[in-house]
Amino acid sequence: LLMVKGPASANYFDAARRGAVEYIWYDSKVLGISRRLAVYLPDGYFDKANAKTKYPVLYLLHGDGEDEESWVSKGRASRILDNLIAQGKASRMIVVMLNCNPGQQAAADLGLPEFDDAKKFASPVHAMSRSLCEEIVPFVESRFRA
């Protein structure tokens, strides 16, 4: 990845204060497999002074052919958010990046076995929508201060 410094890419580089990205596994009963989420937590999330602070959550979905890692590695989401928060252009928030490929446990580059979602699900989009609403949102709300 070649990064050229300039006004259009100003938010793509490390900010002075940085949040953290955690990779969390959850069991999906809807999809029948364990799955991984990438979760961005803003700078200050772990500070004692913010121990009771609740944060809004953005569920960030990827495009076709991507996965939960794409927003972190290619999209530079955490760096962009760190910069926008530092500039006062975005609120501190939790960002959940999920894998919308129902047959994948996690990003393909981890080399985990994939499941043939075409045969397992009548509608992969419906299966992921159910998983998001019934499993991921409650999981995130129970694990983080959302």
pLDDT computed for residue 145 by the predictor: 97
CA dihedral 39, 44, 45, 46 (to 10 degrees): 110
CA dihedral 20, 23, 28, 30 (to 10 degrees): 60
pLDDT computed for residue 117 by the predictor: 57
Distance CA 125, CA 102 (A): 8
φ, ψ (nearest 5 deg) of residue 29:
-75, -35
pLDDT by position in tens, the chain (length 146)? 777 888 888 888 888 889 999 999 999 999 889 999 999 999 999 999 999 999 999 999 998 888 899 999 888 999 999 999 999 999 999 999 999 888 888 888 888 888 765 556 777 788 889 999 999 999 999 999 99
pLDDT computed for residue 139 by the predictor: 97
